[in-house]
Amino acid sequence: MQSLRHLVGLALLLLGLSPIAHAEALPPGVNPELPVHQQPKRHPELADPVLGDRAAIVEWAWSPQYAKRFGVPAQSDGLKDGALWLVGVKVLRLQAGKRQTYHCRIAGLIDNRLAIIWPPGEQYMDHPANIWLGGLPHPRYGRLDEQNTFVPGQVAWYRKPKNPRQQKFPESGIGTHYLLYYRRYQADLAYFELEGGCAYFNDPEHFRNELRFPTRIDGENDSDPRVEAVFEPSAVTFDLPDGLMRKIYPYTREAEAWGNCIWRRNGDKTFTVPAWAVKRFKGLCEPESAVQPIR
């Protein structure tokens, strides 16, 4: 009997399943449909409703030219050959004082000869101090002032617009500041990592998620000084593939809701939590005095 249990357990592991993971009671608020909760735990003492025991989860999409150069399998639902060779969306958990926060970042490789407005120099890194409230105590190091001419954008467009406004304007959009940038990652490719926003990714069934890079300087030589240059037609745009978004969107959605839940639990009622999340997290969004927090 013991030998039979061993063989069954081994077969489940080879299939990517875990007899232990499915037997355990899931912590409150966990969505069992997320793949991370269907895998064996490496650190059972951690109970994060979104990422399980992981610090980060990332999904990638690449083009046929990337597959050929770097020796990886071709993707039928990846990028097409062009200036953007590789793109990934990463969801990660960070500690901000006593609170956990969730960040959704965009990274990739892009042709460094592309006619967009690049960050200055061969390398660029957003100073870590800029995550502090107020940034560094000097105006010339201000986060927005430093990047306002070259910051890319993250946008979600309606697939089936119902009116002229939805056709002309995106459902959501945000400037995605550079965290890291290496102009010569390879002779012809630049690496970038952007601080995206979890709430600005949208369901790929109904929205087309897009990455934009400005080609003009906002307010100087762009078409309309009232519109940021990155959101004007002159910007270079790339669709985030639907295959990529179908894999990562469940995590960006959960991370945004659970992050807001944590902030509300700590007394900041300006953060809203959707009804489905309130139901799933079963009271865990209430003030800390009223609920025992997940540890």
Q: What is the pLDDT of residues 130-175, one digit of tens each?
A: 555 444 555 554 444 556 788 999 999 998 888 888 888 888 899 8
Q: Please, are residues 240 and 203 in contact by the beta-carbon 8 Å criterion?
A: no
Tell me, what's the pLDDT at 209?
96
Which candidate, 52, 4, 5, 6, places its Cα nearest to that of 27? 52
**DSSP-derived 3-state class of residue 141:** helix
Within 10 angstroms of residue 291's Cβ, the number of other Cβ atoms is 15
H runs (alpha helix) in the chain: 2-14, 19-23, 64-70, 143-147, 164-168, 242-265, 275-281
Interatomic CA distance for residues 132 and 2, integer angstroms: 55
For the chain, the domains span 2-290
Share of the chain above pLDDT 90, in %: 43
The vertex-153 CA angle with 142 and 205, nearest 5°, equals 145
207-213: strand order across its sheet? 172-175, 153-158, 207-213, 236-239
Does residue 35 contact residue 258 with C-beta atoms inside 8 Å? no
Structure tokens at 23: 């037997």
0.85 surpassed by pTM: no
Q: What are the pLDDT digits (tens) for 62-71?
A: 999 999 999 9
